[in-house]
Amino acid sequence: MNFENKDCQIQWNENRLKDEVERAAEINSRINFISIIYTVFAVFSVSLFKFLIENKYDSNYIYSMLFLVFIILFGLSIANTIRLQIPKEVAFVEEPRIFYNDLKLGYINRGIPVNDINGYLEETYLLQLEHSLNKTVAKNNKKSRFNFSATRFALLAIIPYSICVGLMLVNEKEQIQKIKIINIKDMIKNSTFPKTIIDPAKVIIREPIMIKENADRPAKKNAASSKAHK
């Protein structure tokens, strides 16, 4: 490789600039993974905050500390995600016609010989390529750091989030069981059956069936008594 050859330098810078443009698109696409984590957080975040406010958990201090850690990590992740999504200036190389029209005319006006103009144009193009590449590399490196921080804090936030969700679900399950037991006791205690007013004159009196020992038929007296009541 001839590192001093200007054509090679132009080609290397063009290829590297193309790679950095693809890298920028890849970095921006990583927001999809972070969005999935945020979606998981959104499922119980409101319930966790409500659970904290209502102070339902017996060891509320532990829960409060875990929830605070989750909020801090979640907030740091969101802050870096916002910084990742803030539009940045993108360096572009000018259109070719600028070089072989406007710049060529500019060099002619400066008194550059016609045979040397191409060399000057190549130098201008190479310098612009290098400047664009430097700007793009710096932008991508900064966005890559924001993406790394946003992802790292989001993944760390999963730990206290999962513990808080577990504590909330276990506590609510116990509360539901207590409520069910209390409700059943109250139902039994407070249950009242409608009382019927009995009219003695309308009550049908039935004598018990009398069967003699070792006999399989009712006694005649019992039968006669039954007829009398009829």
Instruction: Report the pLDDT value the prediction gives residue 176, as an integer from 0 to 100.
Output: 53
How far apart are alpha carbons 150 and 84 in whole angstroms?
8
> What's residue 3's pLDDT?
67
pLDDT mean for each 10 residues of the chain (230 residues)? 78 92 89 92 87 68 88 95 88 86 89 88 91 93 94 95 88 59 51 60 57 54 47
